[in-house]
Structure 1
Amino acid sequence: MTARSIRRTTAARTRLAAVGSLAVAGALLLTACGDQTDSGSGSSTSESTDKASTAPLFSKLPKEIQDKGVIQVGTNAEYAPMEYVEGGKIVGVDPDIAAALGKQLGVEFKFTSGAFDGLITAVNTGRYDIAMSSITDNKQRQEGLDESGKKLGEGVDFVDYFTAGTAVYVKKGNPKGVKSIEDLCGQTAAVQRGTTYEQALKDQSKKCTDGGKKAIKIESFENDTEAQTRVKSGGAVAGVNDYPVAVDMARKADGGNAFEVIGEQYDAGPFGIVVDKQNTQLRDALKEAVDAIIKDGSYQKVLEKWGAQSGAIQAAAINSGK
């Protein structure tokens, strides 16, 4: 979800785009971040109290979350294996990591899926307590800046829990002989709108024209499924995505016969849990919880379950993205 690479360059499912797009498009699409799909119902106060008796970090949470027993999570569930819908439920790496965090914190993490480029705005407005959707931690998002450095929004804090880079994928058999992102000059490439890997394509396109070559024709779609379909049909020579998402897609789509990933990941960077800058207590509690699940081994078990070990980190960090 270098994400959603949800790094949703940040360059690069990164489910992991520039903050300007998030701030502007997020404001327009906030209503699109509605309750399309969720991962379960909220816990009652009594259930939360029971959990608290065995949860070592429950007391670290803000009082309002202790009382609710729930952390509301915004996501864009279209980035297998990071987060996607299966059997009407949101599953994947991020929901499983969240479940492990919930055991440490004594609360339920309730995921709701909506538009990716509205997630940060939705956290800032209080619609969600956090966003967890293969979102790349970078300075633009931290500071609420657009591509030119202009201040557009408040910005957010990140609790970094995973690392991933950008990947280029092509139709199986690589009919155009693409070897790297540099080969996309003058070609058509598909990508999800509002992601860091969309920005990666824009950056590469500028390098193309600066070097006397033709720009990349970038086709941006609201969701990643549309971008994949464009590549599969041959309408786009390649797509760009988070590395773990692209690898999983190449392995599973049409039994492994639809796509292939070109080369290794590049521009690796951290995925972070998005928290409003004013909510430092929740941010710090989440960091402690990430460190706790790394220490007790449950974090590694989640990554092994989903084949995402390449993204493992040794310790949580706050705003480590560049």
Structure 2
Amino acid sequence: MTARTTRRQVTATARRARTAVPVALAVTGALLLAGCGDQTDGASESSKVEGSKAPLFDKLPKKVQDKGVIKVGTDAAYKPMEYKIGNEIVGLDPDLADAMSKELGVRFEFTNGTFDSLITSLQTGRFDMIMSSMTDTKDRQEGLDDQGKKVGKGVDFVDYLTAGSSILVKKGNPEKIESVEQLCGKKVATQRGTTSHEILKKQTDKCKKDRKRPITVEPFDNDDEARVRLKAGGVVADISDFPVAANAAKEGRDFEVVGEQMESAPYGMAVSKGNDKLSGALKEALSAIIENGAYEKALKKWGVEDGGVDAAKINSGS
């Protein structure tokens, strides 16, 4: 979702940097349910908007106007950013989408899946956009994998939050860990394909260069699984985005966050490269909710005010 703070791979990564399904966030009416394989869907409701009367409706691509919906890919296992309660996806990202829907006059329909498949699904047309605590990186913008190899046409990001990666350990910090440099020779969990995963890969290389034992990285499909492994004592730490790590520490008695945030970077709503009309409309909608206060209200609700941005930007990640 820290920052799912710095994700890097495009086809196999995205941070939760989460470098991705089905839940509907309805602007009108009832809960929508859809299924795909073993995936589940959920939806949240918002007040009714009469499409063409919304202030930014005309900014949307004609295809989206006609459908009345923006299909959103997410990995809903990243509390407080996006997570499931029953069949409903809730969290900061759905709340921001709900506020933006009032400006655009269409509903955002969230579909749940694995983080490292989100960009591929976007580029094959399954989704119109991704909103999943995904870190905006140059590699993702350019369609590069973690080896710098071109693997896709890339995406554009509408950046809406700033976060970095954090180290989550068991309560009391029994291993006395304060930095990623202390993890050489230890077992560490993380979410696969995220910026946090990339941080661990880099540190493992540095451990080897310094003639230290490498980190044994245990990547999981989602951060919930990584925390279960940490709680069971199978690893000494979990590296994840700061909002997620802080929430896990705050809500229970099992964990605490140690050290400083690493590689703070913007989270972005990802849109296929070349879909400028949609990215432009999303940028204007984000600007509108920043100006009218709905953005700040949502950040306060979920306790992530420190990651707020003052203005909507496109591709500000590095």
TM-score (norm 1): 0.88
Q: Where in structure 2 are the equivalents of 1:128-147 lying within 5 Å?
A: 128-147=127-146
User: Aligned residues: percent identity?
Assistant: 55
CA deviation vs aligned residue, 1:132-184 (integer Å, no higher than 9, x gap): 00000001100111222211111111000011001000011111111111110
Give, as a single letter, the amino acid of the residue that structure 1 aligns with 2:51. Answer: K
**Please, which of 27, 39, 42 is the counterpart of residue 42 of structure 2?**
39
Whether the 8 Å CA contact 2:11–2:119 is kept in 1: the answer is: no
Query: Does the Cα contact within 8 Å between 1:250 and 1:260 map onto a contact in 2?
Result: yes
Match of 2:118 in 1: 119
The whole-number CA distance in structure 1 between the counterparts of 2:123 and 2:193 is 17
Conserved? CA contact 2:156–2:270, under 8 Å: yes
What is the aligned partner in structure 2 of residue 291 from structure 1?
287
| Runs of 4+ with deviation above 6 angstroms | 29-33
Shift of 1:42: 11
After TM superposition, give the deviation of residue 69 of structure 1 in Å.
0.9
Are residue 179 (structure 1) and residue 216 (structure 2) matched?
Answer: no
Aligned length: 300
- Structure 2 residue runs of 5 or longer lacking an equivalent are 15-19, 23-34
Structure 1 pair 292/141, CA: closer, same or farther in 2 (3 Å)?
Answer: same
Displacement after TM superposition at 1:20 (Å): 5.5
Quote the Cα distance in structure 2 between the aligned partners of 1:150 and 1:144: 8
Residues 34 and 200 of structure 1, relative CA distance in 2, 3 Å threshold: farther
The reply on whether 1:273 has 2:269 as its aligned counterpart is: yes
Matched residue of 1:19: which SS? coil
Q: TM-score, normalised by structure 2?
A: 0.89
Classify the secondary structure of the residue corresponding to 2:271: strand
| RMSD over aligned Cα atoms | 2.2
How far does residue 265 in structure 1 lie from its aligned partner after superposition? 1.2
Q: Which residue of 1 aligns with 2:52?
A: 52
Q: Describe the superposition over 1:186-239 as per-residue Cα deviations: whole angstroms up to 9, x where unpaired.
A: 100001111111011001111111112111000011121111011111110000
Deviation track 1:85-134 (CA, whole Å, cap 9, x = no partner) reads 01320000000000011011011011110011110111111100001000
Shift of 1:30: 9.5
Question: How big is the shift at 1:33?
Answer: 7.7
**Does structure 2 retain, via aligned residues, the 8 Å contact 1:35–1:113?**
no
Give the structure 2 partner of residue 318 of structure 1.
Answer: 314
AA at the equivalent of 1:211: D
Equivalent-residue separation in structure 1 for 2:61 and 2:198 (angstroms): 35
* 1:201 to 2:200 alignment: yes
Deviations 1:47-92 (A, max 9, x none): 76x2331x11010001111111110100000000000001320000
Q: Is the 2:21–2:41 Cα contact (8 Å) retained in structure 1?
A: no
Letter in 1 for 2:179: S
